[in-house]
Amino acid sequence: MSPAQVRKYFKDLPADSIPFVPTEVEVEILTMQPRIPLEEINRVKNQLREFTDRVNKGETSFATLARLYSEDPGSARMG
């Protein structure tokens, strides 16, 4: 059965023959926060501090670091 046939079928039904069905949506969002080891947090913080130092000393640009280390393909490509 095609979508056009379905539309025609419902269009041809008398209005009083179609039951009223209220539209209702229930949404539930479940979130879980990952447990990140303290060592990993410290490793990332140290790496970010190194990046900041390199940019502040003029050794490299933020765009270069973004291209090299960004995990987001769009940001990495744009720098």
CA atoms within 13 A on the CB side of 66: 11
Q: Provide the 3-class DSSP secondary structure of residue 36.
A: coil
pLDDT at 79 over 70: no
Query: Are 65 and 54 in contact, with CB atoms under 8 Å apart?
Result: yes
The alpha carbon torsion through 56, 59, 64, 65 (nearest 10 deg) reads -60
pLDDT at 1 over 90: no
What are the residue boundaries of the structural domains of the chain, listed by start?
35-79
Each residue's pLDDT tens digit, 3-61: 999 899 888 888 888 778 888 888 999 999 999 999 999 999 999 999 999 999 999 99
